[in-house]
Structure 1
Amino acid sequence: MSGTLDTLENLTYDELHEGDTATFTRTLSEHELVLFAAVSGDCNPVHLDPEFAASSMFGERIAHGMWSGSLISAALATVMPGPGTVYLDQSLSFKRPVKLNDTLTVNLTVLRKDTKNRVVIRCIVTNQNNRKVVTGEAKVIAPTEKVCLHKPALPKVTIEGHNG
């Protein structure tokens, strides 16, 4: 069964091959930036306070580094290998800041398959200008059973004073 926007389909360990690639794209909105601060508890003013951020080395507000990292997690969990993946390890190197309204693309590449269904995946996150913002490697346990599921509906979340 081929995946659609409403479904999540995994790739099993046996279906994965060295060199396989997948992508996942997301744009950072004001709403997501504030929600990420709320759920993570990271209220560093460089993310939330325009005046403070203007005097920082970045000159403007930037995203939390782990927002980019969370996109890697989402790509592994929903695209490749997909549902049933167990996330074991992740290295991250932050190359440049992510700004409001940047569109990031997570590029995954299978580097190698190890024993016990373990897979090592290169993770490169680029912005809309094809500039690297994060690089690293993930180690996962790939699923062994094929699944195709309806994508769960997420609740509509709003922030006081904001509609999203």
Structure 2
Amino acid sequence: MSDTQETLENITYNELNEGDTATFTRTLTEDDLVLFAAVSGDVNPVHLDSEFAADSMFKERIAHGMWSGSLISAALATVMPGPGTIYLEQSLSFKRPVKLDDTLTVELTVIRKEPKNRVAFQCEVHNQNQEQVVSGEAKVIAPTKKMSLKKPRLPKITITD
């Protein structure tokens, strides 16, 4: 399932198996970067100020690390297991910077099923050059009831000064 489909369908705890994988892909736009800064309150100039970022170790503006982390959350919530998932834990290791216009793909892999509908996932995030940008592990409570629902529509958000 891709993030552009109109229907969200979950995968229940009983349907999940060790080794199952799923992906979620998104490209970082200027709007994403600025809106993430606004929502999170993280206005570090390395994300928002080109001149400041040029003098940083990255030599250009970069995404917030947690933007990449939020894509893992989106993958768990909308793809596997999907709607009804409760996020419990997440470890993250940031491997390389994410830059404007990078396209990231999250790959989730079921690594173990635990009692009480808990499922652990290996989370790998790669850019369009297949370079790893984030790795980690997530634990969720997987849904037990099958559901399929229409993907909610977001309002058009514009950035103004």
TM-score normalised by the chain length of structure 1: 0.95
**Taking every aligned residue pair, what percent have the same amino acid on both sides?**
77
Deviation beyond 6 Å, 4+ runs, structure 1: none
CA deviation map 1:56-101 (0-9, x unaligned): 0000000000000000000000000000000000000000000000
C-alpha deviation, 1:139, in angstroms: 0.2
Residue 118 (structure 1) aligned with residue 118 (structure 2): yes
C-alpha deviation, 1:19, in angstroms: 0.1
C-alpha deviation, 1:140, in angstroms: 0.2
C-alpha deviation, 1:141, in angstroms: 0.3
1:84-163 correspondence runs (5 A):
84-160=84-160
CA deviation map 1:34-66 (0-9, x unaligned): 000001100000000000000000000000000
The equivalent of 1:7 in structure 2 is 7
Q: 2 CA distance for matches of 1:154 and 1:129?
A: 29
The equivalent of 1:25 in structure 2 is 25
Q: 1 CA distance for matches of 2:80 and 2:24?
A: 9
Count the aligned residue pairs.
Answer: 159
User: Could you say what secondary structure the match of 2:67 adopts?
Assistant: helix
TM-score normalised by the chain length of structure 2: 0.97
Q: CA RMSD in A?
A: 1.1
Q: For structure 2, which runs of at least 5 residues remain unmatched after alignment?
A: none
CA deviation map 1:2-58 (0-9, x unaligned): xx8100000000000000000000000011100000011000000000000000000
The equivalent of 1:82 in structure 2 is 82
Q: For structure 1, which runs of at least 5 residues remain unmatched after alignment?
A: none
The equivalent of 2:43 in structure 1 is 43
Q: 2 CA distance for matches of 1:10 and 1:128?
A: 27
Q: 2 CA distance for matches of 1:27 and 1:124?
A: 16
